[in-house]
């Protein structure tokens, strides 16, 4: 390699390593954002359960299961998994579970506005990042793993 190429690569490596250290901060931001979105949706459902049941019966067409079961499972998922995600506890499992909720939300609507669809895509990408890379060092998963590895 030429000296210029070596210098460029060394500078690139320094920047790349620095950005790699921001992974945990990015994971926290993604976890908090996604948790807020889904938890708020769950709270909306339990605030007016009759409307929720009506929507699941008439508007949302969740495949394979009765509308009432879909309403309970969807609401449960939107209230439990965001709390786990917020804490970084079972991050990968929670992200995968919310991915299922996200996909079902998209396919269960006969028509979805393009802007809403793109939000679901963004949420899906963030959930995929959390499922693949985990919650990072600023998560309960990391803390528990560190404690268990000391034994």
pLDDT at 1 over 90: no
So what's the pLDDT on residue 20?
83
For 21-56, how does the pLDDT look when each residue is reduced to its tens digit (9 = 90+)? 888 899 999 999 999 999 999 999 999 999 999 999
Averaged pLDDT score across all residues of the chain: 94
Ranking 12-16, 110-114, 133-137 by mean pLDDT, the lowest is 110-114
Cβ neighbors of 23 (< 8 A, separation 6 or more) are 133, 136
Cβ neighbors of 77 (< 8 A, separation 6 or more) are 38, 42, 97, 98, 100, 101
Is the backbone of residue 90 left (phi > 0), alpha (psi -120 to 50) or beta? left
So what's the pLDDT on residue 131?
98
Q: Once rounded to an integer, what is the mean pLDDT over residues 88-109?
A: 96
pLDDT at 127 over 90: yes
pTM of this prediction? 0.88
Phi, psi of 60 (to 5 degrees): -85, 135
Q: Once rounded to an integer, what is the mean pLDDT over residues 66-92?
A: 98
Q: Once rounded to an integer, what is the mean pLDDT over residues 69-95?
A: 98
Beta carbons of 142 and 136 less than 8 angstroms apart: yes
Q: With CA atoms as reference, report the closest residue to 134 among 20, 11, 24, 57.
A: 24
Share above pLDDT 90 across residues of the chain, in percent, rounded to a whole number? 83
Rounded Cα distance between 139 and 117, Å, is: 29
Rounded Cα distance between 78 and 107, Å, is: 17
């Amino acid at each position: 390699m030429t000296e210029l190429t070596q210098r460029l690569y060394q500078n690139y490596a320094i920047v790349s390593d620095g950005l790699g250290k921001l992974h945990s901060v990015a994971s926290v931001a993604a976890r908090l954002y996604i948790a807020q979105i889904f938890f708020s949706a769950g709270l909306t459902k339990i605030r007016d359960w009759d409307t929720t049941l009506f929507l699941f019966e008439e508007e949302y067409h969740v495949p394979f299961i009765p509308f009432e079961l879909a309403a309970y499972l969807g609401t449960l998922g939107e209230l439990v998994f965001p709390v786990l995600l917020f804490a970084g506890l079972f991050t990968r499992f929670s992200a995968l579970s919310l991915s299922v909720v996200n996909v079902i939300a998209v396919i269960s609507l006969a028509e979805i506005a393009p802007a809403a669809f793109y939000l679901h895509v963004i949420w899906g990408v963030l959930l995929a990042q959390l499922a693949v890379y985990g919650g990072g060092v600023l998560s309960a998963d990391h803390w528990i793993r560190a404690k268990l590895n000391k034994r």
